[in-house]
Amino acid sequence: MESRTVVTFISRSAEDTRAMGARLARALPDGTVVALTGELGSGKTTFVQGAAEGMGIRPGADDLGETEGVTSPTFVLVREHEGRDGRRLVHVDAHRLTGGAELRDLGSDDFLKVRGIAFVEWAERVEEALPEPRLVLRFAHRAEGEREIEVLGAGDGAEALVEAAGRALSNDVEERTP
């Protein structure tokens, strides 16, 4: 069940999108799953890069010893990054998955319950395997360089996550739909 509250934010640049990700990551409690949906190039990975910065994850700090920073784990599927105070960011790219069973086969029951936040790109492909409550961010292209990000929740208790997101991103609010 999706929340009735939808908050819409506008990002005018990649820098805005990163800043929004950083503010949201600092505001969300450990154990939060953030489902990211939207077309290719709509800002999902850029948002997660900002979230990593907000969690104190230095560029290049991931579980595979990668040095290029937070990138979409398209071929690896799942990457974990450790931030300050041991909080982890789990970054999942479900684009190549065909359903929730494949996500569960990868061990999602474990990696989605970390001390930190899990971000799942292309979440619509594995929605049935994602825990509730969760935060849902829908990304869409707008005018040149702008992105629209709708924030809503899924599951009982998701309203609190939507409210936390609304407070964290309040400088970027365009409209609220009750």
Query: pLDDT by residue (tens digit) across 78-116?
Result: 787 778 778 888 898 898 888 989 888 888 877 787 788
**Among candidate residues 123, 153, 148, 124, the one with its CA nearest the CA of residue 136:** 153
- What is the model's pLDDT at position 74? 52
Per CATH, the number for 6-177 is: 3.40.50.300
**Domain boundaries in the chain?**
6-177
pLDDT tens digits, 8-40: 898 989 999 999 999 999 999 999 999 999 988
Return d(Cα 25, Cα 70) in angstroms, integer. Answer: 14
- Residues in contact with 58: Cβ distance below 8 Å, sequence separation at least 6, in sequence order: none
Q: Is the dihedral of CA 154, 160, 161, 167 positive or negative?
A: positive
Strands 6-11 and 147-154: antiparallel
For 49, the 3-state DSSP assignment is helix
The helix/strand/coil state of 85 is helix
Write the pLDDT tens digit of every residue in 119-157.
Answer: 999 999 999 989 999 999 999 998 888 899 999 999 988
- Which of helix, strand or coil describes residue 120? strand
Task: Kindly state the average pLDDT of the residues 154-178.
Answer: 76
Describe the crossing of helices 14-27 and 158-168 by its angle, rounded to 10 degrees: 130
Question: Residue 125 in contact with residue 94, Cβ under 8 Å?
Answer: yes
33-47 pLDDT per residue, tens: 999 999 888 889 899
pTM of the model: 0.85
Which two tokens mark 55?
A: 């969690």
**Axis crossing angle, helix 14-27 with helix 44-54, rounded to the nearest 10:** 50
Contact predicate 125/99, CB 8 Å: yes
Spatial contact of 80 and 89, defined as CB atoms under 8 Å apart? yes
Question: For position 84, what pLDDT does the model report?
Answer: 77
Q: What is the CA radius of gyration of the chain?
A: 15
